[in-house]
Chains A and B, each alone.
Chain A
Amino acid sequence: MPSGALLFQSIILGLLLGGLYALLAAGLTLYFGIMRVVMIAHSAFLILAAYLAWWTSTELGIDPLLSMVVTVPLFFAAGVLLQRGLLSRLRPVTLTMMSVLITFAIALMIEGLLGYAFSGTQRRIQLSYGTASLELFGARVAVVKLIAFGLAAVSLAGLYVLMKRTQFGWALRATIQHRDAARLVGIDTERTAGFGFGLGLATAAVGGTALSLDTTIYPSLHWHWIGPLMAIIVVGGLGSVAGAAAAALLLGLAQSLLQIPMGATWAQTVFYVALFATLAIRPQGFFGGRLAQRF
């Protein structure tokens, strides 16, 4: 039986990790909601943002968090371009399948370009506060992990407000719910869909910066993220943002707790077990998600 302190420590680490998962899964859910696209390249963009943060820190010598000033707008624009330029041009009949291949191809290209530019060597940002930690009821929480969680939480809250309280959020939700009807009431669904994609990719920029603070990065790392993320959106029910967030926290916590008895690697299998179980038992997901059945 693990000690209480270790258990508490793991719960905190799990929640911190779950927050990051939730933010990234929110992006994936947006894409799927808007046009039934499974965006494999999401985590490749995540790693790209992490590399840009690392580069900012190493080459320019400024705090990696500042890289977001550039990466967030840049990724938003890339998302809009991606949707307008590529995905909306695919044949509607085979859209879901072909969009997976297209985004998969983009992921490969990003991985290759990162490898070419920065080599396959593992990289890590060296921060003056990198080893600092706070004491919290007997558990130690690294400052960098708290910053990462804070970034994720703030962005998620911002996303929530944007979706629920603004004109654009209203249009976006309408587009997700019923595209034709949304067009009938005068929403420019094409433009909204493009912006929705940009928003989704912007979460990857924030997530990547948060990630870079406390992890080692290398070009093929994105495969270790896309698996858990896809599991999260399937378990949460494809297309449901709230479902994805709940699944993210739950699975993040489960992963962290399972690491105590099972070790780091085996604990990761919890995502895939959850994925297979969901598809075999309840393909529409456990938290709503009426779309999943047909995809």
Chain B
Amino acid sequence: MRSPARRTTWAVALSATLLLAACGGGDEEGQSSDDPIVVGISLPLTGDFSEPGKGVQEGYEAWAKTTNDKGGLLGRQVELKILDDQSNADRVVADYEQLIGSDQVDLVVGPFSTRLVVPSARVAQEYNMLFVEPAGAAAEVFNQGFKNLFYAAPAVADDHYNHLAEYLLALPAGQKPTTVAYAAMDDPFAQGTAYGLKKKLEAGGVKTVVDEVYPPNTTDFGSIAAKIASAKPDMVVGGSQYQDGVNLIVALQQLNYQPKLAAFSTAPTSPEFAKAIGNKTAGILSPTGYSQDAPYPSNKEFVEKFTAQFGKAPEEDQANGYTTGQVVAAAVEAAGCAEQGECQQKLIDWLHGNQVETVVGPLSWDATGKPQGAHMIQQWVGNDIKIVLPAEAKEADLVYPKPAW
């Protein structure tokens, strides 16, 4: 046994040395004004959030192409460096670590999903980098004390249903729903949307009869649906991402439960939604932060260019990615620089004091990076989903009580 032991010992020593040697490779690249501006991004291209992650990626790519077609930023071309974080918090941190520390990118922008935004924003903060992100909508993103973070969308999760809450509470006493069931994924964003509405309705005297929270990997919604159906509430609210929303709706339909109103976040706006629940979509509501028909100046260009580039119209995720690019670009143009170091603080300071025109409307932020606005409410009418709230943007009237599904 003595000899193999010795060999192992030396092998340890050898590989430690090799490790050291292997690490000596990364050298600094010289900066010049003709170099492209490299934007580092980590996105969930595989794993739990791969579908929305790919959507955001398309948004970023569309922004880079549109910007470069117009001559770039500060006369420099924009180049995206995208890494895949597998929807994994360990990976997202390592990715930004690599992008900032090793690849020396000039700017970083955010990943998808609130769960990944907080860890990655901390990396950016500790390297003193500006961090504009397309997806960290939950309240806890903004009470971490980040000074470098900006959420590039109209409203945080808790405010998504504001227009709906106002509408319901303004109904006459006889029509107003009296009981509501809530089921939300244990995810800061999804739960935030449902609980934002819950808080407002409870304050308005609407009773909560079921309040269920399920973990993200739940696949069997039979028991949650049974609980909801047996309580027979007037209204059901789902704080959902995509598949869980579909599963819950199918499970409710299996039990033949017919609420007067059904609102689910995210899932109903997805292009595959109707097919996934067998076209039984009648009257389902959903909040959305983006509409292809919105009248903002840059939106028309975005829809056209995006459709030309990808052969389909942009959805909310794509718009969020694009908006993030627009926000960063506005800051870069105003500050006149885009590299690591002191420039980053200039970008941060500018965004704290100014408003940016984007495809989702004008955006401005408070000191924590929280945007000031609310989401539109859409409803499935026939075979299409239409904006029903707020009144000034509506394409159709809200149908209440909703037809049977």
Q: Which residues of A contact B (CB under 8 A)?
A: 2-3, 5-6, 9-10, 13, 115, 119-122, 124, 126, 128, 130-133, 140, 142, 145, 215-218, 220-221, 224, 256, 259-260, 263-265, 267
Contacts and interface: CB of A to CB of B under 8 A. Distances in A.
Contact residues on B (Cβ < 8 Å of other chain), bracket: 35 or more
Residue of A132, A264, A267 with most partner-chain B CB within 10 A: A264
B280 A131 contact: yes
A221 B48 CA distance: 12
25 contacts: A6-B230, A9-B226, A10-B223, A10-B226, A121-B51, A122-B243, A124-B246, A124-B247, A131-B253, A131-B278, A133-B254, A133-B256, A142-B222, A142-B254, A215-B219, A224-B219, A260-B223, A260-B227, A264-B214, A264-B218, A264-B220, A264-B224, A265-B214, A265-B215, A265-B218
B48 A120 contact: yes
B276 interface: yes
A6 B214 CA distance: 19
B226 A124 contact: no
B71 interface: no
Interface in B8-63: 46-48, 50-51
Nearest to B280: A131
A263 B50 CA distance: 28
B326 interface: no
Contacts of B223: 10, 13, 256, 259-260, 264, 267
B46 A6 contact: no
Contact of A13 (B219, B226, B276, B280): B226
Interface of B: 46-48, 50-51, 86-87, 212-215, 217-220, 222-224, 226-227, 230, 242-243, 246-247, 250, 253-256, 275-278, 280
Nearest to B218: A264
Given A124-B247, A130-B278, A217-B219, 18 more contacts: A2-B230, A13-B222, A13-B223, A119-B50, A120-B86, A120-B87, A121-B243, A122-B242, A131-B254, A131-B278, A133-B254, A133-B255, A145-B222, A215-B219, A224-B217, A259-B223, A264-B214, A267-B223
A6 B223 CA distance: 9
Contacts of B224: 264
Contacts of A13: 222-223, 226
A135 B153 CA distance: 46
A115 B46 contact: yes
A5 B230 contact: yes
A131 B257 CA distance: 12
A3 B210 CA distance: 14
